[in-house]
A and B are shown apart, each in its own frame.
Chain A
Amino acid sequence: MKEFGYRRAADVSGALALLAAEPEARFLGGGTNLVDLMKTGVERPALLVDVRELPLDRVEPTPDGGLRIGATVTNSDLAAHPEVRRRYPALSQAVLAGASGQLRNMATVGGNLLQRTRCGYFTDTARPCNKRVPGSGCSALTGAHHNHAVLGASDHCVATHPSDMGVALTAFDAVVTYETPEGPGELPLADFYLPVGDTPHRETALPPGALITGVTLPPAPVAARSRYRKVRERASYAFAIGSVAAALDVRDGVVRDVRLAFGAVASRPWRATAAERALIGAPADEAAFAAAADAELAAARPLPDNGYKVTLMRNLVVAVLAQLTEEAAR
């Protein structure tokens, strides 16, 4: 294991300065992913700048009815926050569906967004991986890929993004805020993750040296009736093989508003815009839900061993939307 330095930042500007001074520095949040990657040699930072103690640990309602979530809010605190549970229940459910209690106590919102794929070739330094070593090739295409991407992938990389939290945030149009030495900036989550293309090693649109300071959720009345459903290979403590964050507003049997995002099917949390378009104004029944899922999944390009994900996502969309419809009718 490479020897590394460790500094704890006192404030945001101090954190930015520490990072800028060392080209091989990384911000350290909860360390629940980065430290694992350091052990396996995937990440070899010279310096860790610990930002977990920065005063960015608040969840605050915004005047317009949204929420502002600090970057160092732990996953546990986020999931338990009463306003999160009231306004965006699917977000709380998504966070609780991830990892374990111990990990959620450590993991931060900013770190969660920047976690790396769990593709077994990315984490194995003895194997080619375009994300880890650009141009080295993608081992998953011809290797083990039964849990890899079916949407938005390329011939260069078929890895999935592992976040549950990010799926719910994507459904609710979250905006990432950040600081750089040149000043603050923001990115809608929809633009935060870059398309895979031929540059899978470039994962986000965050400027170099930037520190995520928080996530803003705009007001979304539809989100008050929302659900996160995660399917995985055991009941707990595993990454999704498919997940859905959904919010639904049904009046008189007709879909007035809907939010739909998929997890574990793409290199980023996948906003199902085609499905949403198909649903607005449609009858709230299983046929319409299935048609909407099909509209989204028409773009799926499964590999030989992950075609089941198309079936799984279709079934999940129908099941979750049907459940939300049933709840609305009560």
Chain B
Amino acid sequence: MTTATTGRTAPAGAVGTARTRVEGRAKVTGAARYAGEIPFADLAHGWLVLSTITRGRVRAVETEAVLAMPGVLAVLHHGNAPRVETDYVGMLGAPDPTAAVFQHDRVPHAGWPVALVVAETPEQAREAAESLVVRYEEEPHDIALSADRPDAYPVDGHMPAVTEKGDLEAELDAAAHVVDVEYSTPEEHHSMMEPHAATAHWDGGRLEVVDSNQGTTWVQNELAQMFSLDMSAVRVRSEHIGGGFGSKGLRVHQVSAAMAATALQRPVRVVLTRRQMFSLTGYRSPTRQRVRLGADADGRLRALEHRSVNQTSTVYEFVEPSAGVARVMYDAAAHRTVNQVIRLDVPSPTWMRAPGEAPGSFALEAALDELAERCGLDPIELRLRNEPETGPVSGLPFSSRNLAACFREGARRFGWADRDPRPGVRREGRWLLGTGTAAASFGAGALPSTALVTAEPDGTFTVRIAAADVGTGARTALTLVAADALETTTDRVRVHIGDSDFGPAGVAGGSMGTRSWAWAVNAAAAELRERLALGTGIPPEGITVRSDTTEALQSLAQKERHSFGAQFAEVAVDTGTGEIRVRRMLGIFAAGRIVNPLTARNQLLGGMAWGISMALHEEAVRDPSTGAHYAPDLAGYHVATHADVPRLEADWVDDPDPDDPVGIKGIGEIGVVGAAAAIANAVWHATGVRHRRLPIRPDRVLEAGRDV
């Protein structure tokens, strides 16, 4: 991996310099404690019991025998658990009933939480939970996702379900080249290293929750509403987080721990197992997508249709808006995008790294590659010919769109100019070799946040913000931002995060965390610096300034605001065994000002490694007859290993956001976007076979080889 970034002016302050994580030493020495290992006096342990049926009702929970087991303190279930409020609108809308547990006897999917066994030790709780007999009334289930089900319906989610302009059929009829293809992506799971874990306890009339989450004030708000408490009566802390990727919001572990802490009036910890996470903490829905492209002889698009359908549970509506990516990327006289869902007897899907863009870019960018082949055009040239001036659907100007620069720099460094476009002609021993490329985009947004910055009497500064460092280095990035805004050095800045007592702040999600928090920190620090310039001296309690970015964000002009990128991959395919090896990847991104090149590169490379995983490995298998997962653990659910991740390079072109006080856009998700398409396109270039179903497993390569 390279760290050489060329053609850039040297940074004047801390922002833009490569810094190791401020808590790095604590993490590698084990001094940093994670939610499941923070000691509490008098701690009790809860263990969840999940349904073994896929649809039906709980007829009986036979608690008596279990309550007599050693150390068992309580069994919570729908018959005795506290009632909670679910009729409210939280940050993501109505709460997912998977979190609001034990409120009724319905079982809407396999692995639904039906009871919590609380005991003195985790081992006692687990043994009792596994012994608990639950009787069910089972009903037939339906988990069959397909593109042509009549019960699919459009859902808006965080964008409109449908956009359309022009006469699609007419433009397709008039097109010189048409691509009409279907793609399928599997059920994927976040699979972060640290499982969900929370400890809840009551402290003087206040519910305290020590958790691992992507937003302490988010979880605080949800818990307050669910338990009908004042916001001030709930405190949520989350200091270190071993990854979230969209899965760590309000979940059953916090709610059930809070219920048990209330019932027992002592601290209760609930930790999920890897297997439990598969049905309790969300996932990326499988998608079925259809892309129709029509182009003139020179490759200019006349028609673009992208339709996507995903599954959601019967109790919660979540749309994976895969068709949304076309609204940003390409224009056409006739342009139609549709996101639909089907309700099935499956767990609720949720946000997972680049929701919409990750599966959507696979389909759209693979279809573009097919169109390039039909047109006899280089895939990069095809994309450059279809660069829109303004938002294809919105008509709004782009805040900045440096996709072409990414392709130019990427092509130069990858050696794209030497590429022979013919598929299936490069052989090296048993391997066929190929290269592929794809474009990437991800929205650049910001969420309202507050920050507290204090000038201490000793000349140092303390920053307090309810930010979440999900492993990305947010704490470090904010240290750099604060130091520059305060015109001081980073060693004089302490940043405290992960505590809802610091006031409302945006979540670590949607690639918006660092940008949202940096904005608030920058604003508070700037105002503090002005106050200090008055030279009135610093009292013993220091001088604290609070910022709130709500108004500043509201006054931002309407624009198409996105990060962009160009992905390149080289693969080797053995068609005799079906093995695929990615040999190298390069991602060049235009993603705003880069605060910390070291951790930014980590994050982009991590996204690209996810792309490898998405293209070749990840797939949760559901048994149609039981409706439950098959082998839901990290032996059965394959994520890329080190050996699968070869020479990866990530770099960026200059692209400061003109409307952001620090110039940030956000880099959390763009690394995965387009990566799977680049790999799939490279597999075609190697073998001449289009793989439109992910992951491209060895058996699928073998089966496809048979058809050639």
Contacts and interface: CB of A to CB of B under 8 A. Distances in A.
A184 interface: no
Nearest to B695: A233
Contacts of A124: 628, 630-631
B658 to A, nearest CB: 43
Interface in A228-260: 231-239, 241-242
B149 interface: no
Contacts of B275: 40
Contact of A308 (B430, B578, B626): B578
Nearest to A125: B130
Contacts of B640: 234
Contacts of A102: none
Interface string B121-154: 0010011001000000000000000000000000
Interface residues of A, number: 38
Contacts of B126: 1
B631 A126 contact: no
A120 B630 contact: yes
Contacts of B624: 143
Interface stretch (B221-229, B288-296, B418-426, B699-707): B699-707
Interface in A134-182: 139, 142-144, 146
A319 interface: yes
B641 A144 contact: no
B130 A41 contact: yes
A127 interface: yes
A236 to B, nearest CB: 4
A330 interface: no
B621 A144 contact: yes
B626 A127 contact: yes
Q: Which of B127, B579, B702 has the most CB of A within 10 A?
A: B702
B637 to A, nearest CB: 10
Given A126-B52, A308-B703, A234 B638 contact: yes
B618 to A, nearest CB: 10
A312 interface: yes
Interface string B580-623: 01000000000000000000000000000000000011000101
B621 A315 contact: no
Contacts of B616: 234
A238 B638 contact: yes
B409 interface: no
Contact of A3 (B127, B625, B642, B644): B127
Given A241-B699, A308-B699, A319-B430, A144 B623 contact: yes
Given A120-B631, A235-B641, A143 B699 contact: no
Contacts of A308: 578, 698-699, 702-703
Nearest to B700: A308
A99 B275 CA distance: 20
Contacts of B130: 1, 41, 125
A324 to B, nearest CB: 14
B123 A233 contact: no
A2 B127 contact: yes
A316 interface: yes
A281 B638 CA distance: 43
Interface in A282-330: 306, 308-309, 311-312, 315-316, 318-319
A236 B127 contact: no
Given A123-B631, A142-B625, A315-B577, A236 B702 contact: no
A277 interface: no
Interface string A92-128: 0000000000000000000000000010110111110
A318 B577 CA distance: 11
B289 to A, nearest CB: 23
Contacts of B617: 233-234
Given A120-B636, A126-B52, A234-B643, A311 B579 contact: no
A15 to B, nearest CB: 26
B52 A139 contact: no
Interface string B33-61: 00000000000000000001000000000
A136 to B, nearest CB: 13
Contacts of B496: none
B576 interface: yes
Given A143-B623, A316-B577, A233 B698 contact: yes
A312 B644 contact: no
A309 B699 CA distance: 8
B19 interface: no
Interface string B437-468: 00000000000000000000000000000000
A275 B1 CA distance: 46
A2 B699 CA distance: 39
Nearest to B622: A144
B529 interface: no
Given A234-B640, A311-B702, A312-B702, A143 B626 contact: yes
Given A41-B130, A118-B635, A315-B576, A235 B698 contact: no
Most buried by B among A239, A241, A309: A241
Nearest to A236: B643
A162 B704 CA distance: 26
B697 interface: yes
A237 B52 contact: no
Given A41-B130, A120-B636, A127-B626, A235 B581 contact: yes
B123 A3 contact: yes
A288 B133 CA distance: 59
Contact of A312 (B430, B577, B638): B577
Given A120-B636, A311-B706, A231 B698 contact: yes
A1 B617 CA distance: 31
A192 B373 CA distance: 56
A146 B275 CA distance: 21
B34 to A, nearest CB: 20
A285 B241 CA distance: 57
B550 to A, nearest CB: 46
Contacts of A126: 52, 628
B44 to A, nearest CB: 17
Nearest to B631: A120
A312 B698 contact: yes
B703 A139 contact: no
Contact of A233 (B52, B430, B638, B702): B638
Pick from B577, B617, B624, B644 the residue with the most CB of A within 10 Å: B577
Contacts of B636: 118, 120
Contacts of A318: 576
A328 to B, nearest CB: 18
Q: Give the residue among B127, B624, B631 with the most A Cβ atoms within 10 A.
A: B631
A144 B621 CA distance: 8
A114 B625 CA distance: 31
A1 B125 CA distance: 8
Contact of A319 (B577, B641, B703, B706): B577
Contacts of A311: 702, 706
Most buried by B among A120, A146, A242: A120
Contacts of B630: 120-121, 124, 143-144
25 contacts: A1-B126, A2-B127, A118-B636, A120-B621, A120-B631, A126-B628, A127-B628, A144-B623, A231-B579, A234-B616, A234-B641, A235-B581, A237-B641, A241-B698, A306-B699, A308-B698, A309-B699, A312-B578, A315-B576, A315-B577, A315-B702, A316-B577, A319-B430, A319-B576, A319-B577
Given A123-B631, A123-B633, A233-B617, 6 more contacts: A1-B126, A143-B624, A143-B626, A144-B623, A235-B641, A237-B641
Please provide the 9 A-B residue pairs with the shortest distance between their CB atoms, ordered closest to farther.
Answer: A120-B631, A236-B643, A235-B643, A144-B630, A315-B576, A308-B699, A126-B52, A143-B623, A120-B630
Interface of B: 52, 123, 126-127, 130, 275, 430, 576-579, 581, 616-617, 621, 623-626, 628, 630-631, 633, 635-636, 638, 640-644, 697-699, 702-703, 706
